[in-house]
A and B are shown apart, each in its own frame.
Chain A
């Protein structure tokens, strides 16, 4: 359903983005269409609640509607949105005291060199979400962004405000840890759904 048509009104950010680098800045609706699904999947993976994820996505786009015109480089829209939603999630997580900063422990999280490469797992989205839920948020965030395939590792670093090298090492370790978690889940449920 085309809401813009129903209201007969123009959406807030359909106005041109001021001093945009590219020639034709995207409209608010185009930006929503391009990114709301990825943002929602990222949010669900981070907070494990559809309702909270929905709020996070809405809040992110509201921020965009209010402040997006200040972004001069249109190529940074995606990074801006993921940065914003991550910060919104951090803010909620801190309030709920669910997320405490955890230092990396090789024994707990594994390391890039320690895993043998087994066959490809057969994983559905529910199992993946369960497995991701067992990862520390510091590792979960870059890993989910990586699996969404929306951002390069450089953009992930920018979105999460961490060094590029840290993103690469966290991705590597998080994958190894996730593989172990999936194996355990598979062992506890010998007939995984496909």
Chain B
């Protein structure tokens, strides 16, 4: 460091001498002329620094800073409240339509049956038994005195089963048997004891209906009322009855 460089650095540190490098300070101590110059320079700077420190403050500045920060930051989460609420509502609505496909236009037992089937499909109700063979399932149901289908459409009876679940629909005992239609697609058969059941479908040919993303067929055979529901298309459903 030469004298000019030291002078420049000393000039930049008159008010904060601790910031000057040891080298610059050493030059200052060994050069009387430079020391005199630095002292005058420092006196000038201190006078101006004093004047600078006397710039009056605006009244209430501190309060207004804190107030503004409070309003803009602590209230900020409220800005997220609306979109968050909308997103949550959308999720609830989506979940509702997934888990409660039944509607008021349907008979009470139909709506409750379809809602129960939807819960089984989405895993909110666990199957009691996992079994791939329909005959074995039927044996299990008979042994446990659960509603068991005596006759099924042939195409349905040939499908591989997944399992079954014992349910109660509108205070009537029922069984849901799950079939694998194709990979990822299932058909769910509800077998329901129909004694005293209101709005039962008529005996014989199934009645096909659809609601939201579900297609279902319902029919009655003797003491049992059936509902076969799937999220596959209606043609697939009808093929199970040999109708398409």
Contact = CB atoms under 8 A, between A and B. Distances in A.
Nearest to A153: B12
B22 to A, nearest CB: 15
Interface string B31-63: 000000100110111011101111111100111
Interface residues of A, number: 54
A46 to B, nearest CB: 12
Contacts, number: 132
A62 B69 contact: yes
Interface of B: 7-9, 11-13, 15-16, 19, 37, 40-41, 43-45, 47-49, 51-58, 61-70, 72-74
B44 A172 contact: no
A153 B56 CA distance: 25
Interface in A152-185: 152-154, 167-169, 171-172, 175, 178-179
Contact of B61 (A13, A36, A62): A36
A134 interface: no
Contacts of B62: 32-33, 36
Nearest to B63: A3
Given A9-B70, A123-B47, A147-B48, A172 B12 contact: yes
Interface stretch (A17-25, A50-58, A71-79): A50-58
Interface stretch (A82-90, A93-101, A102-110, A124-132): A124-132
B44 A120 contact: yes
B52 A144 contact: yes
26 contacts: A3-B66, A11-B70, A11-B74, A12-B70, A29-B66, A32-B62, A32-B69, A36-B61, A36-B62, A53-B58, A58-B65, A58-B68, A61-B65, A66-B72, A66-B73, A112-B8, A121-B47, A123-B51, A124-B51, A125-B52, A128-B48, A128-B51, A144-B52, A154-B19, A172-B11, A175-B44
Contacts of B43: 120
A42 to B, nearest CB: 9
B52 A128 contact: yes
A11 B69 CA distance: 8
A130 B175 CA distance: 92
B70 to A, nearest CB: 6
A151 B183 CA distance: 71
Contacts of B55: 40-41, 44-45, 125, 129
Given A32-B66, A147-B45, A172-B12, A54 B61 contact: yes
Contact of B69 (A12, A120, A148, A178): A12
A122 B41 CA distance: 14
B66 A168 contact: no
A62 B52 contact: no
A106 B8 CA distance: 16
